[in-house]
Amino acid sequence: MRIAVLAPLVSPIAEPHIGGAQVLLSDLAVGLAGHGHEVRVYAATGSHIDGVDVVDTGVDAASLRATLFRADGAHADSSSTAATEAFRAAAGMIAGDAPDVVHAHAFDAPSVEAVASLGIPWIQVLHLPPDAAVAGAVGRAVAGGGPLAVVTVSEAMRWAWAAAGVGARVIRPGVPVERIPWRAESSPGVLFAGRLSPEKGALDAIAIATGAGMPLTIVGYPYDDEHAAEVRRQAAEAGAAVLRPVPRERLWHRMAGAAAVLCPVRWDEPFGLVAAEAQSAGTPVVGYRRGALPEVVRDGVSGVLVEPGDWRAAARALPDAVRLDRAAIRRHAEERLGLGPAVAAYEAVSLELTRASAAPRTPVR
């Protein structure tokens, strides 16, 4: 198959990635290309994926910064003129290449509308919690009756989107477990990795590590400038280190050496790639029981989850988590969190759509 992948245009698709959607589409593109498909990723200027053809759409990601997703609902500019023009241009490039199927990963109503207008079989991936504008655009696309499969990343997100009036099938992401190093022993310190925005819980991570008396390293993209400044301030007071984002392989080595990885999310986490990567490194996860984290972390085996917002309980749970069997954690990741099933599922849905599109239709009399 000839597969076109439409990326979010709000950031280049390059390491270190800004978020999980960018990581996942990169891994899927590489995996699908490895299955013999011709894959082209249409992305913002500055994008690069090893082993995959990346098409520069000419979009400067900085011009779309106002469309960055905010968990507090401040995503009001997702249908801006700049976004509309950017996705129309990208869709025009896709149309010119005439792929068999499109995989759309962008979280913007203009992206949904642009891809729907092509009339090409497509998969719309819903990486994030429901947004009214996106839900409306997807609903109109489904009502249009075209060859479309709507996919989301966890059962938690399937239920959330169903409540917003959008039905979706679940294809759980995975991570390249075989590439991630793991260790039977660890250092005394704990790690937080993720974008520095309120919903990811870096401030809670500081409180948890301080409460448990363990050194903390924070590795995060300053997604929200004001919040990032507050994280740096509180980290300095607590003696925690705050580092800029690093390429994934370097982050994996940090994970493998950490006593635990903290995921004290303050929103309904759509999946939790950081938690999956941590477990692949043999490292237990300590976090809040929210969103899809209970689907990713096996409580008491690969980590410990406590009630949302209860950082004191997380601090008390940290010593127990550190004592978990790191070999068992790695086995859990190998059995449940690998990338292979996700690649195979996207391949299967793509074939399903292209066959349905090619099937002759009975004329209406």
Encode pLDDT of 254-282 as tens digits. Answer: 999 999 999 999 999 999 999 999 999 99
| Confidence class for position 361, pLDDT limits 50, 70, 90 | very low
Q: Are residues 188 and 321 in the same domain?
A: yes
pLDDT of 67: 86
Residue 364 has pLDDT above 80, yes or no: no
Q: Are residues 200 and 326 in the same domain?
A: yes
Q: Are residues 138 and 100 in the same domain?
A: yes
Residue 249 has pLDDT above 80, yes or no: yes
pLDDT of 363: 38
Residue 215 has pLDDT above 90, yes or no: yes
Model confidence pLDDT, tens digit, residues 114-135: 999 999 999 999 999 999 999 9
Letter string b/e over residues 131-162, b meaning 16 or more CB atoms within 10 A of that residue's CB: beebbbbbbebbeeebbbbbbbbbebbbebbe
Per the structure, the complete domain to which residue 141 belongs is given by 2-174+339-358
| Confidence class for position 139, pLDDT limits 50, 70, 90 | very high
Inside any domain, residue 89? yes
pLDDT of 362: 40
Q: Are residues 130 and 210 in the same domain?
A: no
| Confidence class for position 148, pLDDT limits 50, 70, 90 | very high
- CA distance linking residue 52 with residue 56, whole number of Å: 13
Inside any domain, residue 365? no
Q: Are residues 15 and 142 in the same domain?
A: yes
Rounded mean pLDDT, 106-114: 94
Q: Are residues 169 and 185 in the same domain?
A: no
| 202 membership: H or E segment, kind and range | helix 202-212
Inside any domain, residue 106? yes
Give the total number of structural domains in the chain.
2
| 218 C-beta neighbours (distance < 10 Å), count | 24
Q: Tokens in use for 54?
A: 């990346």
| Confidence class for position 75, pLDDT limits 50, 70, 90 | low
Inside any domain, residue 26? yes
Q: Are residues 207 and 163 in the same domain?
A: no
* Residues 89/57, Cβ–Cβ less than 8 Å: yes
Inside any domain, residue 82? yes
Q: Are residues 128 and 52 in the same domain?
A: yes
pLDDT of 65: 85
Inside any domain, residue 249? yes
Q: Are residues 311 and 189 in the same domain?
A: yes
pLDDT of 68: 83
Q: Are residues 139 and 211 in the same domain?
A: no
| Confidence class for position 92, pLDDT limits 50, 70, 90 | very high
Provide the mean pLDDT of the chain.
94
pLDDT of 78: 54
Q: In this structure, what CATH number is given to the domain that contains residue 267?
A: 3.40.50.2000
Model confidence pLDDT, tens digit, residues 216-228: 999 998 888 999 9
Angle, CA 205 vertex, CA 201 and CA 207 arms, to 5°: 115
Q: Are residues 211 and 309 in the same domain?
A: yes
Q: Are residues 162 and 24 in the same domain?
A: yes
Residue 166 has pLDDT above 60, yes or no: yes
